[in-house]
Amino acid sequence: MHTTVTVARTTTARDRLAARFADYDATEPTTDAKTLRRQLFHYHDDLLIHIVDTDAPLPGEPDGPDLGADITPFDTTALAQRYYHWLPGPVDPAMFSTLVVNRLVPERRPQVAQLFADFDTTDVPHRMGTRRRQLFALGGVYFHLQDFETPDGGEVIEQAWKQADPRFIQICDDLDPLIDKYDSTTWRKPADAVAHRFYHWEAQ
């Protein structure tokens, strides 16, 4: 399963965007790569994150409805770059995704990827129910996409933080000087960095 992440800005109501994508996905468009799952997340009011899983790599941005004036560019390109991928076993479009959004300067990506590579060799991700981890970046913004076995991924992350698992706390401490909060004025706890999913579609 191959993941593509695109980012835009929008002030359009989320239910309107969800309806546009629902109509589009109901037509089952034919593309070179079959779409297995589509998810729309919003973060910090205007950030729209469009995540598509396909059975083959996409050459560019994923298909979707023409949103026209409903979105504006986030950066010079909408396509986020993946720089870390951990997949310990088979994945399923029925998994539940949690998306964390922060800021990261490009020079720090290798350090962040190595921290997660080391962390993912432990049993902590398995105990948390993490099935896949991917890190993406676009225009200085960092996207940490985790797929879980259950729909409570955000709560799982929060519990690991509250229960002070030493290895979880260690990676948080190691990441802290590398990753900046998307908006430090509104951040109070890890859950404040979690984007809200407002649309989800899976192929039948």
Please tell me the distance from the alpha carbon of residue 5 to that of residue 145, in angstroms, as a whole number.
10
**pTM value > 0.75:** yes
pLDDT-derived band at 31 (thresholds 50, 70, 90) equals low
Q: Give the mean pLDDT of the chain.
A: 85
Cβ atoms of residues 113 and 135 within 8 Å: yes
pLDDT tens for residues 94-116?
788 889 999 999 999 999 999 99
- pLDDT value of position 112: 95
For residue 91, pLDDT over 80 is answered with: no
Average of pLDDT values for 129-147?
91
The DSSP call for residue 69 is G
Please tell me the distance from the alpha carbon of residue 186 to that of residue 40, in angstroms, as a whole number.
22
